[in-house]
Amino acid sequence: MVKRIIMLGAPGSGKGTWSKVLSDTLSLPHISSGDLFRHELKVESELGEKVRHYLENGLLVPDEVTIALVEKTICEGAGKDGFILDGFPRTIFQAEALERFLDERQLSIDAVIDLVVDEAVLIERILSRRVCTKCGKPYNTTSMVPMVEGVCDDCQGPVIKRSDDTEETLKKRFKAYHDETEPLVSYYRERGKLIEFSNTAPPGEATKNELLGLLGLGQDNG
């Protein structure tokens, strides 16, 4: 059974959407570094104030802050029996820290999924996407529109455009991705963990089964 998965991909490639699909299908918790950061912002913690500066300027949160937060979640929270990591690791330094952390517990990453999408498509996706502020369900203004405008289908929470989804912030995020995160593709390919998945269509049964097949799982998820 595949129990520890990392989702890679450029901003807007669908990491959050596909993480949720796999989380529901495989009964594994979806651990999003972005959600962890937003939680700290919401409770107005000291860490949250540090995170705010970086997120609002389209910069990556420093490695040591992100690593500590994710490791705590894996160790003490929902991820102790398996997980789908979304937005972490973002750098080789973070990947090496995660590998050491898991090695110490005689654990390892089972698969790393790289979502491959053309950059022009990504830009269009990001500017159109929306999210429920209550449950985190993703939407967009083209193919995944809530039944009632501005209201989540699942929990009736407010559906909004994220404050960091702007063209100016987007340019900074793509530069940060190319400089720091893209090298992870080679890092995990060399370790035999990488699975490349061309994500050009919205999630459906066919695309979900294609991804499960790449993970070595049949439709019975076994």
* CA–CA dist 17, 122 (Å, integer): 14
Could you count the other beta carbons within 10 Å of the beta carbon of residue 112? Answer: 24
Residue 15 known to be catalytic: yes
3-state secondary structure of 191: coil
Q: Exactly one of 90, 125, 130, 137 is catalytic; name it.
A: 90
To 5 degrees, how large is the angle CA 9–CA 104–CA 34? 30
Length of the chain in residues, anyone? Answer: 222
Burial class of residue 105 (count of CB atoms within 10 Å of its CB; 0-12, 13-18, 19+): exposed
Closest alpha carbon to 90 in 70, 111, 109, 106: 70
CA atoms within 13 A on the CB side of 189: 7
3-state secondary structure of 189: helix
Residue 130 known to be catalytic: no
Q: Exactly one of 15, 38, 125, 137 is catalytic; name it.
A: 15
Q: Exactly one of 161, 162, 172, 193 is catalytic; name it.
A: 162
Residue 38 known to be catalytic: no
Are the beta carbons of 158 and 134 closer than 8 angstroms?
A: yes
Q: Exactly one of 4, 129, 130, 137 is catalytic; name it.
A: 129
* CA–CA dist 122, 124 (Å, integer): 5
Active site residues: 15, 90, 129, 162, 173
